[in-house]
Structure 1
Amino acid sequence: MNYMPGTASLIEDIDKKHLVLLRDGRTLVGVLRSIDQFANLVLHQTLERIHVGQKYGDIPRGIFIVRGENVVLLGEIDLDKESTSSLQRVTIEEILEELRQEQEVKSRAEKLKIQVFKERGLMLPYPDTLDEY
């Protein structure tokens, strides 16, 4: 096997199923169809995968173009191991409800943390008015 520098090494991965973790925290699963010198990706049959605890749900997104600077992680999915995952697949509605509940719990915990800090006369390095945005 010859060494190819930079994104040229991904040419061997074209037409294979990949998982892409984006800078904003989203996870995409799709077939890599194209790549350029800037690591921009074209994914086909793309799913946005949402994980909450031991559950996950997939939202179909179709063809997806990802700007290279937004890619944190790119990896080929082993199709044999994918089918034996310990995670439980649920419907889109169920996973979105689970996600909403998880975010609500985190929000309450953050508000409590801010309140406790204020009671002790401490200021957090960020404003507590984030909910207004």
Structure 2
Amino acid sequence: MKFTTSAAMVDLVDKKVLVILQDGRNLRGVLRAYDEFAHFVLEDAVEYIYRGTRYAGIWCGIFVIPGENVMLLGEIDMDVDEAPNKFLVEYHALERFCKKDAEMRERQEATKAQILREQKGYSEEEDKYIAHKGNVQGCCKSLVET
């Protein structure tokens, strides 16, 4: 079995990468730095949201990502179209739909957590750790001008 360590990421430095976070956020940017815990620094980061055939991006600039929040990291092939068969729309047009989807996922996760506590004996402390783990904050502005 082959394991990937943070040392294997040296080839990705200064390349455009895709990062998907534990909370489902989709970021693209240039990987500028990382450490042994797989904490990343993305430059010119853009957060993308997708819904059906539409997508929107919001520019985030420099983005520091704790390694424990990363679900996927991969290099982007610059020769391939970013979103074939999808149409760029204003971020705020999709944001409200994505927020509704996120709220629905949160309700589902809360229901799952309650079932785990009641039926399987999980504790509140484990729930707090899981909720904290996906918390990444960013300050972004829309790519599409209003």
Alignment TM-score, normalising by the size of structure 2: 0.63
SS of corresponding position for 1:125: helix
Residues 34-55 of structure 1, C-alpha deviations (whole Å, 9 max, x = no match): 0111101000001111111121
Identity among equivalent pairs (%) = 39
Residues 74-109 of structure 1, C-alpha deviations (whole Å, 9 max, x = no match): 0111111134622211111222144356568x59xx
Distance 1:84 1:25, change over 3 A: closer
C-alpha separation in 2, matches of 1:33 and 1:80: 21
Distance 1:68 1:53, change over 3 A: same
5+ residue gaps, structure 2? 109-113, 117-146
Residue 31 (1) aligns with residue 23 (2):
no
Larger-gyration structure (1/2): 1
C-alpha separation in 1, matches of 2:50 and 2:7: 31
SS of corresponding position for 1:81: coil
SS of corresponding position for 2:80: helix
Report what 2:144 is aligned to: none
Distance 1:83 1:73, change over 3 A: closer
- Report the alpha carbon displacement of residue 31 of structure 1 after superposing the two structures with TM: 0.5
SS of corresponding position for 1:86: coil
SS of corresponding position for 1:10: helix
5+ residue gaps, structure 1? 111-123, 127-133
Report what 1:78 is aligned to: 77
C-alpha separation in 2, matches of 1:102 and 1:70: 20
Report what 1:43 is aligned to: 42
Q: Which has the higher contact order (CA 8 A, sep 6+)?
A: 2
List structure 1 runs of 4+ shifted beyond 2 angstroms. Answer: 97-104
Residue 17 (1) aligns with residue 16 (2):
yes
Alignment TM-score, normalising by the size of structure 1: 0.69
Given residue 56 of structure 1, which amino acid in structure 2 is its aligned partner? Y
User: What is the CA RMSD across the aligned residues, in angstroms?
Assistant: 2.6
